[in-house]
Amino acid sequence: LAAGALSRIRAAEQRVELRTLERTAEFRQAVLSSVSHDLRTPLATILTSASTLRAFGDTLPEETVARAYADIEGEALRMNRFIVGLLDMIRVDGGGLEPDLHALDVLEVLDRCLGRPDLQGLEVARAWPTEPVMVLADPLLLERALDNVLDNAWRYAGAAGPVEVAVAAGAGTVTVRITDSGPGLPVEALGRMFDKFYRGSAAGRGDGGAGLGLSIARGFVEAMGGRVAAMPGPAGGLRLQLELPAAPTPIGRCA
């Protein structure tokens, strides 16, 4: 009986190890595929613009030179976002997250996120209290998670429609809802929203991202004891809902 039990335990352990190896191989292949797509294109643009400036910079119109420099800067920033996203994903998958939890005002974090220069063209409807709303969270992880969710809304909001950001405090929980006015997703696709390297089929603004942002956001929020869910918006579009632990006692606004 003991030998049979040990044999079953070993078989179960081998199945777990095999599945772990399979998941590692799948992740490695996905990373390689994404790197080949998401780094090759900006690198080609940077090399082309730099070589053009070096060879013809003195003879080109000022507008062409300015556009080439803007292309180099924009593509370098795009590469940086992709690399930072990969590093964040490795932290999430590797269990290396150790949140440093503090009581902080989620409205101040949202204000900082919405103040980013690249989101200045985004029309935002704010629906939140005038008083601080305190959560128990890691300030860096929370800001990164909200940044990623807002990036997704910016891409799919559509040219004319606003993004609504709503905050509500409940019993021990603070809920942040970010609802865009884009085309939304089919119900069957909502469950895949947080898969690594998943990109929605709807055409949006920007470069489409690497398909890592929402997966990272979920990993960060869950590491802080919260939850993230995707659902259709009440008037169309997509709603992403973050539930965060409320701070035990309000201690005032954090700088």
State the pLDDT confidence band at 255, using cuts at 50, 70 and 90: very low
Q: Which two tokens stand for residue 196?
A: 């690594």
The enclosing H or E element of 242 equals strand 238-245
User: Could you tell me which residue, 232 or 250, shows the higher pLDDT?
Assistant: 232
Torsion of CA 175, 179, 184, 190, to 10 degrees: -10
- Looking at residue 20, what is its pLDDT? 55
Give the residue-averaged pLDDT of 9-24.
Answer: 67
- Could you tell me the pTM of the whole model? 0.66
For residue range 94-151, list pLDDT tens digits in order. 666 778 899 999 999 999 988 887 777 778 889 999 999 999 999 888 998 998 888 8
Number of alpha carbons in the 13 Å side-chain half-sphere of residue 98: 1
Least confident among 81-85, 128-132, 199-203, 216-220? 199-203
State the pLDDT confidence band at 211, using cuts at 50, 70 and 90: low
Give, in order, the Cα–Cα distances in Å from 98 to each of 67, 91, 141, 193: 42, 10, 10, 25
- Looking at residue 238, what is its pLDDT? 85
Backbone angles phi, psi at 193, to 5 degrees: -55, -35
Please name the residues in contact with 234: beta carbons below 8 A apart, sequence gap of 6 or more. 179
For residue range 143-185, list pLDDT tens digits in order. 989 988 888 888 776 555 688 999 999 889 999 999 988 777 7
Could you give the domains of the chain? 2-93 (1.10.287.130), 102-245 (3.30.565.10)
- Looking at residue 24, what is its pLDDT? 55
- Looking at residue 108, what is its pLDDT? 95
Q: Which of 238, 15, 65, 244 is nearest to 145 (CA)?
A: 244
